[in-house]
Structure 1
Amino acid sequence: MTRVPSLSPLPHPILVRPSRDEDVPAIAALYAHHVRTGTASFEEVPPDAAEMARRRADILARGLPYLVAECDGALAGYAYAGLYRTRSAYRFTLENSVYVDAGMARRGVGRALLMPLIGICEAAGYRRMIAVIGGSDNQGSIGLHAACGFRPAGLLPGAGFKFGRWIDSVLMERPLGAGNETPPEEVRG
């Protein structure tokens, strides 16, 4: 567990911890809001809690982190790292996902989640993290990733179609540990 002081006034500090089974309904509700109202996810129909539980179990079964942030006892956000691609040559590269409760945006929750997520993945021997950000106008996510050491890596114009418009995918990346400067040790689980 990590306690992170807030970057903006909050009644209590942000508590970051590994997710638990009982967090899944709140995670599903938070994600459903983003699916219905935003472009961070290219899903158009929110998955139910059972599907979110299955997805979380898949991440955890790979030995990858799935974190939640709490503030004043309520879920403020969640983040996890998954495989970037399944081909074996990508085995040292992960993709991150970070979702923050709309009422907690720009209050330090995203950074409180992303920095420990990066540290856990570095400690496990991974070498690169990719962010695939929905919408070139998603300045909150782009700014969060830049503040956490990610650099622009590309733009896929009009990669998705949601809410009656084409939406870009912004690619950002950051090295983990030595990045691609040295040959990797096999990932430690």
Structure 2
Amino acid sequence: MTSSDAVIRAAVPADLPAVTAINAHYVANTVITFEETPPTVADWRARLADLTARGFPFLVADVGGEVAGYAYAGPWRPKPAYRYTVEDSVYLAPGLGGRGLGGALLGAVIDGATAAGLRRMVAVIADAGDDRSIALHRRHGFTEVGRLTEVGFKLGRWVDTTLMERPLT
């Protein structure tokens, strides 16, 4: 399976059990998300409703009717002055990395956020021991703007994050 096998489309409520399962894997087994309790399908339903009501993209990679990954743009910070800045999230089903799906999803989220009139996209990338996410974001025009040291504690270790950003206009 490659990105050419995928249809990138808007997420719908029927996709949320798969989104929940993909996310739960990363919550339980990695430091790439700082969640410690996996959000439920109901939590994802609320997130989908909130993001789409704001006009933010929430997308899935559909391969043969199965959700192979998801991506969305969410608020960077809750204060009103940040309303034109979003943070991206991109997750693939376990074992599906390296096939272009993440790039297809990220590119589509960037396009959707740009079309929504947003101005800047931020990526907060946890130091998971490899640079694949940083490389993905660089390929899509993000630049590194900082590093936060030991800002998270998960799975028995302190975790740094790399901050990246890109303009949308």
Both proteins in one fold, TM over 0.5: yes
Q: Secondary structure at the match of 1:132?
A: strand
- The corresponding residue for 1:97 is 89
Q: Residue 33 of structure 2 aligns with which residue?
A: 41
Corresponding residue for residue 165 of structure 2: 173
Partner of 2:155: 163
Q: Match of 2:107?
A: 115
Check whether the contact 2:32–2:128 (CA below 8 A) recurs between aligned residues: no
Partner of 1:88: 80
Higher mean C-alpha displacement, 155-164 vs 41-50: 41-50
| Residue 12 of structure 1, CA deviation | 6.2
Counterparts of residues 15-34 of structure 1 (less than 5 Å): 15-34=7-26
Instruction: State the Cα distance separating 1:10 from its structure 2 match.
Output: 3.7
User: 2:31 touches 2:128 (CA, 8 Å); kept in 1?
Assistant: no
Q: Which runs of 5+ in 1 are unaligned?
A: 1-8, 178-189
CA RMSD of aligned residues (A): 1.5
**What is the match of residue 129 of structure 1?**
121
What is the aligned residue count? Answer: 169
Q: Return closer, same or farther for 1:105/1:11 CA change in 2, 3 Å cut-off.
A: closer
Contact 2:2 2:101 (8 Å CA) reproduced: no
Q: TM-score, normalised by structure 2?
A: 0.94
Shift of 1:88: 2.2
Q: Point out the structure with max Rg over C-alpha.
A: 1
CA distance in structure 2 between the aligned counterparts of 1:13 and 1:108, rounded to whole angstroms: 10
For residues 73 and 12 of structure 1, do their structure 2 counterparts lie closer, same or farther at Cα, with a shift above 3 Å needed? farther
**Contact map agreement 1:14 1:70 (CA 8 A) in 2:** yes
Give the unaligned 5+ runs of structure 2: none
Q: Which residue type is aligned with residue 30 of structure 2?
A: G
| Structure 2: distance between partners of 1:134 and 1:22 | 29
Alpha carbons of structure 1 residues 126 and 111: separation in structure 2 relative to 1, 3 Å:
same
SS at match of 2:56: coil
1:149 aligns with 2:141: yes
Moved beyond 2 Å, runs of 4+: 9-12
1:54 lines up with 2:46 in the alignment:
yes
Residue-by-residue CA offset, 1:9-44 (whole Å, 9 max, x unaligned): 649611100001100000000000010111111011
What is the TM-score when the length of structure 1 is the normalising length? Answer: 0.84
Q: Which amino acid aligns with 2:121?
A: M
